Chain A
Amino acid sequence: MTDHQHPAELRPKMVGTRVKRTEDPRLLAGMGQYVDDMSPAGTLHVALRRSDQPHARILKIDVGEAFSVPGVVAIYDISDIEGEIKPAIPTSRLPGYYATPNWPLARGKVRYVGEPVVAVVAESRYAAEDALEHINIQYDPLPFAIRQVDAVKDDAPLLHEEAGTNTIIRREFKRGDVDAAFEEAAVIVKGRFRMTRKTAVAMENRSYLAEWDGRKQSLTLHTSSGSPGIIRDVLSSCLDLPGTRLRVVAPDVGGSFGAKGSLYPEEMLVCVLARKLKRPVKFISDRLEDLSATSQAFDELIEAELAVTSNGMLIGLKADVIGDVGAYSIYPWTAALETVQVVSFLPGPYRMEHYRGRIRGVLTPKPPTGPYRGVGRPSSTFAMERLVEMAARELNMDPVEFRRKNLVRAEEFPYRTASGIIWDKSAFQECLEGACEKADYAALVRQRDAARREGRWVGIGLASYAELTGIGSRISVAPGMPINTGTETSKIEIDATGAITASFGISSHGQGLETTLAQVIVDELGCKLEDIQVRHGDSALVPMSSGTYASRSAVLGGGAATLAARVVKGKVLRAAAFLMEQNVDDLDIRDGIIASRQSNLTMTLKEVASAVYTQMGRIPREQREDLTASETYDPYLGTACSSTHLAMVEIDPETYGVEIRRYVVAEDCGKIINPMIVDGQVHGAVAQGIGAALLEEIIHDDNGQAVAASLADYLVPVAGTVPNISIVHIEADLPNNVGGFRGMGEGGTIGAPAAIANAVSDALAHLGVSVETLPITPERIFQLLRDKALAGQPIQTPT
């Protein structure tokens, strides 16, 4: 009964427990409050006329009879507002980079189909849409290069003339003597890998509401953002408003998957319009707008070669990558975020002495690319893990054995990769073993071979990777980006009623951080879970913050919470020691009850709070401390999160439909705060990775038109597409950061495309084809086989 009699280490902890998500009752009962649920009196609605041209000069905008539509308040193009807002410039320290200015509406030219050009403001969205139909934009079409291989050429038409080139990013990583390694190699495998363009498809489309308060001359933006702090900071300079007069709030947000972490033109637009019109202004994008104007992902062409010795040791890797960054460099992450990480992460979790990786990021007339769960690594892991399995096959080695030989081993940590990333000790080898053990790899291989003897096309594929998570101030999340992404602040306050408010700069949008951060605080502070209210997603809570992205919130937010809770706990115990006349070292607090090891005296947190704040004279003036603390945590470097995925697929030898038969993930995310939430993140991210592997593709035709304009064309995985996913949590050595946590929100999307590509390739290996483009659709399998003149032939039986 008297739990608090146990030494602290032996007590049950909240961290590590499958606590049900405290945010779920409101979200599942439909009581969540999203931006679109807010409708202040007098709200105006915006509808946008978007470009239907990939690249054109805007000659004339004719509003026709648009003002005759009842309810229309204003119609603007950029010339009406450019004096009232400055563009956002996504600067970077990378040499040779060009930062495209980002305006709320197209200025002079349009650069992709879907770019906002004209804003209609009306009393209702219906009226605004009615008015749009009257607007006629005259364009002078300009030449363009829609494919990156063309856009990168010297004589390609320029999208941003000021840049003098379309290639706005160049970066090369080099280590050792890669040419010599290739000369020595017994086996060289190569491929031309392409992870086609994707988009995140959050359930809630992007939504913005700006309110101008004439009394305080201040602006509040409610935004479906994962980074309200970053948005506040940039808008502060664009709108010339100090933080005291500009507040950015992310209320409940229905998913982001990275795509809601950037600044968007529409976000700038509602702010400038609310200030101009002195009324609340709302913009809610619809699904078509989401698919055509939310940031997109990947789209690199990776030509890579791997050199291997006869006994299966990786010795060299070469890569030449062209990243298709779209029409603008996105704020704040820049076009380097995705592209540069492809080459910096390409060597993966393997020992690799000799490396040369080059990336060119080129502008094309498509929506800008930006963060997407996994950033860069889904592409790099796909390319590298394909090469690894190709090499193993070439050498007739089991791919598991091949990986075991080459994955960095326990005694080699910290390991510095060829591109300079430092892997701290993480369970690289153990994840490989864990996945194989869970799947019973040997039995799976027997099953596959037996199926093959029956003529079935069955394949097994693995993917091992490591990612850098919870990054501190030493490294920027986006290469070269000057914004600090390496700190987070937690402010914990116990008020006069004994209730605890924990405020953060992070901004949870589905990750369950209200629950996990509270769990961390419970263990550190010794209070009850239900006494804590976690607040986040509001720029007014802490002085500076950058939000939730890059698998950082558990590490940085959890670290800051730990530090702040410790300080507050110290204050509580000092006050209690005085009140209870005990030595502070004899006191501990648990479940909100302070007890002494030397007596059976107890006090509740509420009693202590009351004594500190409201009961005059109970604590002498010089000893009285507010029960509050604000602590900022900076892990300085980052920590590796490693994983191995294993997939078994079966392909219908006639229709070429792919089914996933088995899926296993083994991952090391350090100390697990809430295993249920970790499972949920893995399941969700694997589902997303399955979409990338088998279904999803943003397609622009040769005319630059976006042809996947609805969810009937952009196919996301549905329940029936997703198999059971077994998960093995490997808690090896804890990382050397405050909480011992590693970030794990992104891993599934990194491993799944590669593992599935490998499994499909294995299933098709007897036909001599290899998967180099994702998604691997029935059509693509058909084309691969047809190129080999095998499609439609009597079914080949694998041997």
Chain B
Amino acid sequence: MASLRYDGISGTMKPAQFDYAVPNTVEEAARLLAESNGDGKIIAGGQSLMPMINFRLVKPSILIDVNRIAGLNRIELVGKRVRIGATVRHHQTASDPLIAKHLPVVHDAMQHVAHVTVRNRGTFCGSVAHADPAAEMPMVTRFLDGTIIALSIRGERRIPAADFFVGSLVNSLEPDEMVLAVEIDVMPDEAGWGFEEFAKRHGDFALAAFAATLRMDNGRARDVRIGMMGVGEVPLRLPEIEEILEETELSQAVLQAVAEKLNDILTPNTDIHASADYRRHLSGVLAKRALRSAWVRAGGRKEATNG
């Protein structure tokens, strides 16, 4: 275990003092995390953690770097699930053929994540652990009902996404648990999907984003899943919207009903980038666009949406 201290280092990176460990196995990482008594932090890509450390918003006693643990950097098909390991980078997820084939909505979402340098370091699991309500990875994990595989010295635990995201930047991991992987069920081949996001600059965190997957059955939408981000304290799955769409034929009237419902149920924040009202407006716009794409991809007639 190497130890970094600030003595003699000049420059302007200025976190509080911490120890630094580079374990080679997940067991060792779990052990170090347990030994830190809740003061340790896993570091993966560092793209969210380092700024927080430099601002001294967090002052971990030890950073446990998982980047050198072999085998965590894979995206695999495990039965009917896609498994994304703890050191899979954003650029990898964005260009992975398994993801593109089995989780095309994730593939689309990834195109909106950050910029090249951030994508080369940031990890899917790190983003999920970070639980930013305006980040794509938590959103897709949540609305596709993914599972977070957590590891501690006490063993593995499978946490459904619905129970994982508890608040803005708050997850339900125990202090001694780390994320080993995220698993997401493959989408049925015939499913249609749509992902729409708006940010002031491409690659920024979204002011709002809307995702939909659905299947077509006799000209009607089935198994509709709706997710949103940037408009709440956590990434959202929206059963109220799914209900409106389930077993309907997509039409202008249905889309309008969706937009109105969103306007009723969403309680986004007002911040310096956008007001709550604008975010609600945007949600309706993005919903219509994403639903039209999902509908067409699922084999629905285009005309149906023009009515």
List residues of chain A with CB under 8 Å of any chain B CB: 36, 39, 43, 45, 47, 124-127, 129-130, 133, 205, 282, 284, 286, 288, 654-655, 657, 695, 697, 699, 707-708, 710, 712-713, 715, 717-718, 720-721, 777-779, 782-783, 786, 791-792
Contact = CB atoms under 8 A, between A and B. Distances in A.
A783 B285 CA distance: 16
Contact of A130 (B8, B17, B278, B284): B17
Interface in B183-204: 198, 200-204
Interface in B270-307: 272-275, 277-278, 281-282, 284-286
B16 A130 contact: yes
Nearest to B59: A133
Given A126-B6, A284-B12, A655 B282 contact: yes
Given A130-B16, A286-B14, A778-B278, 5 more contacts: A126-B9, A288-B55, A655-B198, A713-B272, A782-B281
Given A124-B7, A125-B10, A791-B281, A718 B115 contact: yes
Residue from A126, A286, A792 with most neighbouring chain B CB atoms (10 Å)? A126
B14 A126 contact: yes
Contact of A126 (B17, B204, B205): B17
A728 to B, nearest CB: 28
A93 B232 CA distance: 55
A786 B277 contact: yes
A712 B135 CA distance: 14
Nearest to B282: A655
B175 to A, nearest CB: 23
Contact of B198 (A126, A657, A713): A657
A673 B15 CA distance: 47
Nearest to A126: B6
Contacts of B272: 697, 699, 707-708, 713
Given A36-B11, A125-B12, A777 B200 contact: yes
A45 B277 contact: no
Contact of B201 (A36, A39, A695, A791): A695
Contacts of B284: 792
Contact of B285 (A43, A45, A654, A695): A654
A124 B286 CA distance: 50
A775 to B, nearest CB: 9
B9 A720 contact: no
A777 B198 CA distance: 13
12 contacts: A36-B11, A125-B10, A126-B17, A130-B17, A205-B12, A657-B200, A713-B273, A718-B201, A720-B202, A720-B203, A778-B200, A792-B284
Contacts of A779: 273-275, 278
Nearest to A791: B281
Dominant secondary structure at the B interface = loop
Contacts of A720: 201-203
Interface string B230-253: 000000000000000000000000
A286 B12 contact: yes
A125 B11 contact: yes
Contacts of B277: 782, 786
Nearest to A285: B12
Contacts of B200: 657, 695, 715, 777-778
A124 B198 contact: no
A36 B9 CA distance: 13
A783 B16 CA distance: 43
Interface residues of B, number: 35
A48 to B, nearest CB: 12
B281 A792 contact: yes
B68 interface: no
B198 A127 contact: no
A782 B7 contact: no
Interface in B71-128: 115
A721 B16 CA distance: 36
Contacts of B205: 712
Contact of B9 (A124, A130, A715): A124
Residue from B12, B17, B201 with most neighbouring chain A CB atoms (10 Å)? B12
B6 A127 contact: yes
Contacts of A792: 281, 284
A715 B201 contact: yes
A655 B196 CA distance: 11
B245 to A, nearest CB: 20
B261 interface: no
Contacts of A39: 10
A521 B11 CA distance: 39
B56 interface: yes
A43 B201 contact: no
A655 B201 contact: no
Contacts of A707: 272
Which 8 pairs, one residue from A and one from B, show the smallest C-beta to C-beta distance?
Answer: A126-B6, A654-B285, A782-B278, A129-B14, A284-B12, A655-B198, A720-B202, A779-B278
A282 B282 CA distance: 48
Interface string B26-50: 0000000000000000000000000
A303 to B, nearest CB: 26
Nearest to A786: B277
B243 to A, nearest CB: 23
A755 to B, nearest CB: 20
Contacts of B56: 129, 133
B14 to A, nearest CB: 5
Contacts of A655: 198, 282, 285-286
A205 B13 CA distance: 13
A463 to B, nearest CB: 23
Residue from A127, A129, A786 with most neighbouring chain B CB atoms (10 Å)? A129
B142 to A, nearest CB: 22
Contact of A124 (B10, B115, B203, B275): B10
Contacts of B274: 778-779
A288 B12 CA distance: 12
B174 to A, nearest CB: 29
A133 B15 CA distance: 12
A74 to B, nearest CB: 18
A778 B286 CA distance: 14
A498 B55 CA distance: 53
Contacts of A778: 198, 200, 207, 274, 278, 282
A792 B201 CA distance: 22
Contacts of A708: 272
Contacts of B6: 124, 126-127
A782 to B, nearest CB: 5
A22 B9 CA distance: 33
A286 B55 CA distance: 10
A363 B145 CA distance: 55
Residue from A655, A657, A699 with most neighbouring chain B CB atoms (10 Å)? A655
A71 B16 CA distance: 14
A415 B278 CA distance: 48
A765 to B, nearest CB: 21
A133 B59 CA distance: 12
Nearest to A697: B272
A45 B201 contact: no
Nearest to A785: B281
A647 B273 CA distance: 25
A655 B286 CA distance: 8
Nearest to B259: A792
A618 to B, nearest CB: 53
